[in-house]
Structure 1
């Protein structure tokens, strides 16, 4: 099974407290996900509840072709105002490990994501990744990039790798 790695970086012109407060809240996930994915958090999460190690989050999501799937992730690690990691327990991927890092920098926060994922299904999964999955994952992160700019403003220096 082939594993893929993607990285995304964005500078956000807000304080570390503001960035952490927004991104560590599971309730905000649907706001930064394309509407076409019909992303719904189905876990009974309280309004102001923040992520913590061991937290299980369930969703209904349509990642490809409008087919609704159940997805379950676990927040495996949290270092307050530095990073958190979510890992898929059940869902559309054979493997999903997503690091979210936050660093206070001059003028705001540098947000850096490192994503490792695998499709499964051997050669067919490799072809599926090349044809549509990698493109779709990049589209999701590009959407998030634009949505974060919309919510928090833009800066001169910002990149997506």
Structure 2
């Protein structure tokens, strides 16, 4: 797994890459089922989809969640699938929630031999500008990193890598 978080002009960018022992079709079919997000989010996030999304992701889809930000602090989160190109990528963007901005790209690339590279690019900005960065920047950066590290291990176990 490759994972990196950088910050420029107040925007944090996480990049993550993981090779999965799946065909492109299998990966696409798994990751475009909204309820599978529950399965790959670490338990400590107390993550729960609160609406009843259709079984397949589509452009314009709204998904609502409850998430645990910090121990004892939960938030509502609403995202929209703003872009989707079949078997290549999709993008979810926060419409309402804990971030000032959240833009998450999910990319899939067939590398042959029944394997796919899944790449995530997440751009996010904390609320309250400089004050949000000062008081929460390192904490949230570590939290986002731990979510993706946890997801990596869940996927390893799920697909027996």
Please indicate, yes or no, whether the TM-score normalized by the shorter chain is above 0.5. Answer: yes
Which segments of structure 1 move beyond 3 Å, counting only runs of 4 or more?
A: none
- RMSD of Structure 2 on Structure 1 (CA): 1.2
SS in 1 for 2:80: strand
Question: Partners in 2 of 1:78 and 1:147 — Cα distance?
Answer: 25
Alpha-carbon distance, 1:129 to partner: 4.1
Say whether the 8 Å CA contact 2:10–2:125 is kept in structure 1: yes
Query: Which structure exhibits the higher relative contact order, with contacts defined as CA atoms closer than 8 Å and separated by 6 or more residues?
Result: 1
Moved more, 126-135 or 81-90: 126-135
Question: Partners in 2 of 1:43 and 1:23 — Cα distance?
Answer: 18
Where does structure 1 lack aligned partners over 5 or more consecutive residues?
Answer: 155-161
Where does structure 2 lack aligned partners over 5 or more consecutive residues?
Answer: 1-8
**1:86-131 deviation per Cα after TM superposition (whole angstroms, max 9, x unaligned):** 0000001000000000000023000000000000212221123433
Q: Which residue of 1 aligns with 2:61?
A: 55
Looking at secondary structure, tell me which structure has more strand per residue.
Answer: 2
2:71 corresponds to 1:65? yes
Alpha-carbon distance, 1:134 to partner: 0.2
Alignment TM-score, normalising by the size of structure 1 = 0.90
- Check 1:24–1:128 CA distance in 2 against 1; reply closer, same or farther (3 A cut): farther
